[in-house]
Structure 1
C-alpha cells in the first residue's frame, strides 16, 4: 500500500508560452501539497529555472535525470531535453509545441510503465503541436491511443460531472458520429467511472438531446426519436438509471442537473459551456475510461495573460487533488471487488 505522500504525480508542462508553467509553480508555493503527493515535472531544469526566476517563485526544486532519483517531499524536475528553449509568452510557436509534446510523451511513457501513478497535464495549443509524428486533436485522443480502455472527456467538480458523446468533432459532423453503439459505449464508460472513480453506487445519469427541444417530434430533426430515445430505453431495461433525452437549453438553468450524478451531452459546447459557466476555475478535465488516471485544468493556454503573473492556479490544483482522489478510489474499488468481505484501508 502506498502512503499518500508517495503517490507520484507526473506533470506535463504544456505550452511554455502559455500559463502552464506559472500555474504549476504557483500550485507548489504552498508546500503542504507535498503531504499528499510527490510531483515530477517533465521538462528541463534550465526551462523551469527560467520560469522560477521570471515569476519570482520561491519553491525548491530537485533536478533529476531519471525517476529513480526522485525525492519525496520535494518538487522534482525530470530533464526531457537539453536544448535552450526560447520562451516568448503569448506567442504561438511550433518549436514550443515540440517541447510540449516531448514533455507529454515522456510523462505518458512513465505512466504506462507505472513509474508515476497519475498524470496531470498543463494546457497545450492544439494547433502548434501538430506534426508528422503527432497528429491528434488534443490530449484525450493521444492518451486514448497510448493507454488501454475507452476514453471519455469527463468534466468534473464537487457537484457537477459532464461527459460527452462526441468531443472534438466539428458541429457539421456531430450527427454522423452519434450511433446506438456510441451511446451505449459512452454511457457504460460514465457509469463505470461513477462507480469506480467516484464511489457512487447505482449512479443516476441524465442524457441531453441532440437537437433543439430534442427534435420537437421530428420537426427539428429526427435523431432524438430515431436513435437516442430507443437506445436509452434499451439501457434502462438493463437496470441502469439513465434518463432523457432532456432539452439542453433549459436543463441547467432549471437546476435539474442537481438531481443527477452525471450528465451526458451530445457534443462539446452543449456540455462545456454550462459546465464552465457554473464552475470555471474550479473544474477539472478528467479522461475517464482508461486504465490510468489523467486530469487537467478546465482552461487553455491563456496567451493573453501569459507571463504577467495573473494566472489562477486553482483549476490546476483541483486537477491534482482530483487525480489523487481517483487513484485512491480505484485502489479501494479494486480491493473491495477482489475481496468484498475485506474493508479497504485508508491512504489519506
Structure 2
C-alpha cells in the first residue's frame, strides 16, 4: 500500500488519529516530532521516517520500536519522559509508526543554564535527579547511549529535569541495528574507552563495542562539566572532543565560581579510566546528593557564571538593522 503523506510535512490544524497538529517540534535522520493535542492535553508525537541519510526504512522503524520498548520498561520514573501510546498512521498495517510521548514544556539543559543563571546547589539538584533516572534505567537493563545537553529538558513550570530521546538506546538481548564498531551517539560525549576501542578495532570486520553503564555515566558527567565551565553551552556549544588523550582541567581553574568539591565530583565522573569513575549511576547519585548538604553563598546564592554584560547602545549615527522577531524553542519529550 502506498502512503503518500509524509509525517514531517504535516502542518498545524491537520489531524492524526484524532489528534490535532499544533506545530512541528523537529526532525532528524530517523524521525519527525509533532506537538499535538486532544481533549485539551498536549503530547509529542514521534514518527519514524525514511530520509536520504537515515539508511534502511525498516531500521528507522525498528529504532522507534526499540525506543518504545525501553520507555515502557522505564515508565514509572518521574524524570524520564513517558510513552502513552503507539500505532501506525494513516494505515494501521502499512502506515508510518509513531509513539505518543509526554510533552515537556521547557528548555534544554544548556538553555536552562543560560536563562536561569542557577547556583551550584540548583545544578546539583538537577543532576541528582538525572543520575537517579540513569540508575533506574540501568537497573532495568536499559542504556541510553546518547546522553547530552540537548537530550535533557528542564520543565519551565517547576524546574524538573527530564531525560528524553531514547532513539539509540538499547536494552539487554535487543537485536543490534548498526553494523559499525560503535553505537550511534554524539562524539563529544563518547567515553575515552569507546574512543580507544574505535582506534584499535575500527577496521576490523564485525567488531562491536560493549557499551556499559560507565559510558552513560561519563556522558552525564561531561554534561555536568560543561555546565560548570561553559557560560553559554547552548548558544556557543563546545566543539572540542574531550574523550581523547587530553585530560580536562579542574572546573574551578576554568571557572573560579565552581566549588572545589563540585569540581572534584565532575572530574570523578569523567575520569579517563572507567575503573576510576563512579561504579554505577546510583553511586553517582549518592555522591551528588551529599553535595546538596553544602551551605554558604558559593553554593546557594551566587550564580555559577557571571551574567553576560548588557548590550551596548547603538550609536544614534549608526544605521539600525531590522531584527527578526525573537523565538522560543519549547522542549519536547
Query: Could you say which TM-score interval applies, normalised by the shorter chain?
Result: under 0.3
Question: Structure with the greater relative contact order (CA < 8 A, sep ≥ 6): 1 or 2?
Answer: 1
TM-score of the aligned structures, taking structure 1 as reference length: 0.24
TM-score of the aligned structures, taking structure 2 as reference length: 0.25
Which structure features the higher share of helix residues? 1
